[in-house]
Amino acid sequence: PIKNVTVDGTNWIKRWDMLNLSVTCHGSGPFTKCLEFHRGDYNTTGNETCVNGAPMESCDFSIIHFFLDANVYTIVMILENSVSKVVYPLRVTIYE
């Protein structure tokens, strides 16, 4: 199973700054990763799917993204391996 999803970096950033987060987790690879970006708060259901996921040998990756507008966003991370799936919502606030 995929366990201990950890996100390092700040998810409260000033407009025009770049979001730069480091994500790690534990489990047996290979892994598949999908990221979905939603404006506003997004309530996950656990039924989210990863159709065109990026394959990874280890669960160690960065999320680097530029948001144009000051707002609240939710990044939904969907991490899968042959044993399990984790849906991890991450709230990001962009302020003026």
pLDDT of residue 30: 96
Domain boundaries, the chain: 3-95
Q: Check: CATH 2.60.40.10 for 3-95?
A: yes
* Cα–Cα separations (whole angstroms), residue 38 to 55, 92, 93: 22, 10, 12
How does pLDDT run across 54-82, given as a tens digit for each residue? 999 999 999 999 999 999 999 999 999 99
Question: Tokens 């290979």 belong to which residue?
Answer: 30
Query: What are the pLDDT digits (tens) for 36-48?
Result: 999 999 999 989 9
Query: What pLDDT shows up at residue 9?
Result: 97
60: buried, middle or exposed (CB in 10 Å: 19+, 13-18, 0-12)? Answer: exposed
User: What angle (nearest 5°) sits at the alpha carbon of residue 32, between those of residues 29 and 36?
Assistant: 145
